[in-house]
Amino acid sequence: AVVSTQSTGVNKCEVMSAKYMEIYKIYQEGDPSHRLKLYKQYGRARIEDIVANIESYKWLEENSKECPECGAMIQLGPGCNKVQCSVCKGYMCWLCGKALPKSSPYSHFGNGGTCHGKLFEGTREEWHDEEEDEDDGFDVYFDEFEALHII
């Protein structure tokens, strides 16, 4: 359950600076004449880059979490709350953000683990389309983890 979003190559501090946020606000809230003024002052391509970068960072902040090992942004995909970073290959718990041991990442969700019984919490309903008639095999894994007292 992992989708890692690597660096965009743009400095986050620069993109989210007060100056760029002001330009973004004018662009979003202003009428066409305001946008035209921005294009003339900074160039259309630059304004479009600023808007796209700010929207990308906002999306990342709302939909991803930082890998505790390397800092790469990770998006939760279909599956469980144990996610693996595609950059450093480390494991983390999506729920609490803790790094998990590579030798036994599921122990975090087992008896005595910090997130005991929460391996699939919040994920099964979100990613499992109940209207699909085909068997995606998800229930088999769910039953196996349940038998191991991980969920």
Segment among 28-42, 45-59, 110-124, 129-143 with least mean pLDDT: 129-143
Q: C-alpha angle with apex 96: 144 to 138, nearest 5 degrees?
A: 25
Report the percentage of the chain scoring pLDDT > 70. 72
The confidence score (pLDDT) of residue 123 equals 78
- The residues assigned a catalytic role are 80
The confidence score (pLDDT) of residue 142 equals 56
Residues 58-86 have pLDDT tens digits of 888 888 999 999 999 998 888 899 999 99
The confidence score (pLDDT) of residue 3 equals 42
Average pLDDT over every residue of 29-55 = 94
> Is the pLDDT reported for residue 8 higher than 60?
no
Question: How would you list the strands of the sheet with 64-66, edge to edge?
Answer: 3-5, 73-75, 64-66
Q: Which residues contact 149 (CB under 8 A, 6 or more apart)?
A: 110, 111
> Is the pLDDT reported for residue 57 higher than 50?
yes
Q: With a threshold of 0.75, does the pTM exceed it? A: no
